[in-house]
């Protein structure tokens, strides 16, 4: 915890529409927190963390199947707000997600009681919560569409392109295990597909990294709906 934080008000879209005492409440209660890479910041509905606003870094929101398979639902970047770390406060939410730092991150933490009070008092905060939930709902619907309508090769090609764009490089640093977890699949399935991609000249496999060789071919594959 950093004492007396400079609260980055610009990051709160509802800030100008709050009353003076609501603004004071946030200034008094919110705190900046540094999160090391790989730390799990929220684990399931009972874990009542509160709202997290990403200032720097990246958070990943995923679900876990009974057999321990992960599926990435969406990622949060600077300016994004993590709603489901406050899911204990959201009536009607009945599922568990896990939030993990993908990179060392700096977040603004608004405690659950503070957020609850703001929701119960402020129409702008409630409307913004609505909008956030709708956005995440849309992300999940997109994922569902991917799973239902794309074969794994399309999804893997799309993931490689996404990771490459995030890294700003043709080289993707990731293990087969990690890629499989993103896709909710098994490592063996992903390894087999990567070897197939390599044999077709789309990628080159290195130690803990994958080099994208034929981006147009990967893009064609990613956009194909083949099932």
**Contact at 8 Å (CB) between 18 and 124?**
yes
Cβ neighbour number for residue 22 with a 10 Å cutoff: 19
Nearest to 33 by CA among 75, 79, 77, 2: 2
**Contact at 8 Å (CB) between 61 and 72?**
yes
Q: Which residue among 19, 138, 171, 173 contacts its own copies (CB under 8 A)?
A: 138
- Please list, residue by residue across 166-191, b when 16 or more beta carbons sit within 10 angstroms of its beta carbon and e when fewer do: eeeeeebebebebbbbbbbbeeeebb
- Report 57-116 residues binding its own copies (CB under 8 A): 63, 65-67, 69, 71, 90-95
Nearer to its own copies, 31 or 126 (CB): 126
Nearer to its own copies, 71 or 205 (CB): 71
Count, residues near its own copies per rule CB under 8 A: 41
- Report 27-46 residues binding its own copies (CB under 8 A): none
147 touches its own copies (CB under 8 A): yes
Q: What is the dihedral of CA 161, 207, 169, 135, to 10 degrees?
A: 40
Q: Which residue among 127, 177, 188, 196 contacts its own copies (CB under 8 A)?
A: 127
Name the minimum Å distance from CB 117 to its own copies: 13
Name the minimum Å distance from CB 214 to its own copies: 25
Q: Which residue among 2, 27, 40, 144 contacts its own copies (CB under 8 A)?
A: 144
Listed in sequence order, the residues at least 6 apart from 119 whose beta carbon sits closer than 8 Å to its beta carbon are: 89, 125, 126, 129
Residue 179 three-state SS = helix
d(CA 170, CA 5): 38
Nearer to its own copies, 2 or 141 (CB): 141
- Report 171-210 residues binding its own copies (CB under 8 A): 184
Q: Which residue among 24, 38, 113, 145 contacts its own copies (CB under 8 A)?
A: 145
Name the minimum Å distance from CB 67 to its own copies: 7
> Can you give the binding site for its own copies, defined by CB under 8 A?
63, 65-67, 69, 71, 90-95, 119-123, 126-127, 129-138, 140-145, 147-149, 184, 225, 227
């Amino acid at each position: 915890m950093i004492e007396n934080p400079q609260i980055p008000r610009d990051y709160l879209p509802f800030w100008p529409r709050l009353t003076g005492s609501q603004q004071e409440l946030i200034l008094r209660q919110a705190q900046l927190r540094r999160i090391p890479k790989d730390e799990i910041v929220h684990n399931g509905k009972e874990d009542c963390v509160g709202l997290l606003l990403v200032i720097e870094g990246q958070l990943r929101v995923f679900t876990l199947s009974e057999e321990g398979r992960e599926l990435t639902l969406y990622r949060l970047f600077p300016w994004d707000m993590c709603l489901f770390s406050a899911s204990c406060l959201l009536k009607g939410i009945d599922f568990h997600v896990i939030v993990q730092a993908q990179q060392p991150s700096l977040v603004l933490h608004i405690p659950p009681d503070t957020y609850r009070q703001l929701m119960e008092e402020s129409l702008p905060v409630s409307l913004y919560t609505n909008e956030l939930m709708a956005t995440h709902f849309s992300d999940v619907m997109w994922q569902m569409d991917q799973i239902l309508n794309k074969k794994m090769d399309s999804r893997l090609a799309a993931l490689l392109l996404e990771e490459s764009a995030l890294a700003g490089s043709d080289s993707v640093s990731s293990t087969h295990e990690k890629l499989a977890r993103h896709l909710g699949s098994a490592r063996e399935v992903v390894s087999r597909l990567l070897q197939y991609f390599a044999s077709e000249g789309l990628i080159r496999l290195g130690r803990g990294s994958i080099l994208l060789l034929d981006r147009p071919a990967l893009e064609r594959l990613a956009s194909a709906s083949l099932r």
